[in-house]
Copies of this chain bind each other. A is one copy, B any other.
């Protein structure tokens, strides 16, 4: 049975509704999962106008078997009606809906009513204006699922990166390069590869300093912190190695030598993935008790409502969530 995935619409005035319409018009997406849109049926109806192949919408109230019976795409707003659809406009009411829809989807996932959550972009200022104190999606979801030790990850086909830290200064990221935390990052990456059912789970751990510290000449973290973490995980049976020089480790993964890289900080992983993955990158949150993937782009207010937004990242996010859910 195809897994049920809750796909949140995000900020209705961003590109979310448009990429949702484009993604759900593709038969391939329906072959991978049974989607339920958490968002506004009216907005989606408006956004789908120029999209061929989009199924009928069915506004439903409850997530029961009936919601998935018959044709059409179920849409649930949970009682939070979207404000007037004004693409490209920052609106606190849109921010409030986006937050409530995420909460609903996460509650369903925690309760086992859906197999995973896929999120369309929200606007940080929008949710702040709506009184939501979180920096973004991931912090909110981590708090809702009581997950202190989550990791921000980027996946793109056979390229996978777990970041030891995410949204913090580079100075703070260096401070978080501890043996315990790096080992947890490796373990979280390993468990994801197990869950995806990959036959090989070769994890490369990137070094913090250039040339992996060049035998201590450029910083001691490689030998004193990262290497012991790698060894501890090897002793626990994981196929990890490193620390590897960061300037070649991503290329080596692209060439097939590794299945996943543990990056020491946000840009170390984001720079290569955004260069290689272009539009098919998927943001994945690991270390939380639910399956959660997200598009790897923002609300893009500048192009919202113009019909030019690309749905590749959302399609990839849905496919990956289905893969995680299918092997769960």
Identify the A interface with B (CB < 8 A): 135, 166-172, 174, 208-211, 213-214, 217-219, 221, 246-248, 250-251, 254, 265-268, 270-272, 274-276
A63–B142 CA distance with the chains assembled, in angstroms: 69
Docked Cα-Cα span, A271 to B247, in Å, equals 4
- Partner of A209 from B169, B271, B274 at Cβ < 8 Å: B169
Q: How many copies does the complex hold?
A: 2
What are 5 A-B pairs with beta-carbon distances under 8 A?
Answer: A167-B211, A169-B218, A169-B221, A172-B219, A247-B270
Chain B residues, CB < 8 A from A246: 267, 270-271
Closest chain-B Cβ to A312's Cβ sits at a distance in Å of 15
Judging by beta carbons under 8 Å apart, are B217 and A170 in contact? no
Given A167-B211, A218-B169, A251:B274 Cβ within 8 A: yes
Report how far A211 CA is from B274 CA in the complex, Å.
13
Beta-carbon contact of B167 and A170 below 8 Å: no
Residue in contact with A275 in the complex, picked from B167, B270, B272, CB distance below 8 Å: B272
Interface SS, A side: helix
B169 and A270 within 8 A (CB): no
Q: Is the CB of A170 within 8 A of B209?
A: yes
Cβ 8 A contact of A268, one of B251, B271, B275: B271
Say yes or no: B167 contacts A174, CB within 8 Å: no
For A214, the chain B residues whose CB sits under 8 A away are 167
Question: Given that A170-B209, A271-B246 are contacting pairs, would A217 and B135 also be in contact in the complex, using a CB cutoff of 8 Å?
Answer: yes
Verify A218–B167 contact, CB threshold 8 A. yes
The 10 closest A-B pairs by CB, nearest first: A169-B219, A247-B270, A210-B266, A246-B267, A169-B209, A169-B218, A247-B274, A271-B271, A247-B271, A170-B209
Bound form: Cα–Cα A219–B169 in Å: 5
Contact B267 A247 (CB under 8 A): yes
Closest residue of chain B to A214 (Cβ to Cβ) is B167
A161 to chain B, nearest CB (A): 11
CA separation between A118 and B164, bound complex, in Å?
A: 39
Closest to A276 in B: B275
Using Cβ atoms and an 8 Å threshold, which residues of chain B touch A211?
167
A167-B210, A167-B214, A169-B209 known; A272+B271 contact, CB < 8 A:
yes
CB distance from A192 to the nearest CB of B (A): 21
With both chains docked as a complex, state the minimum distance between the C-beta of A278 and any C-beta of chain B, in angstroms. Answer: 8
Smallest CB separation, A75 vs chain B (Å): 32
Which residue from B210, B217, B251, B266 sits with its C-beta under 8 Å from A267?
A: B210
A256 to chain B, nearest CB (A): 15
The complex places the Cα of A169 from the Cα of B221 at a distance, in Å, of: 9
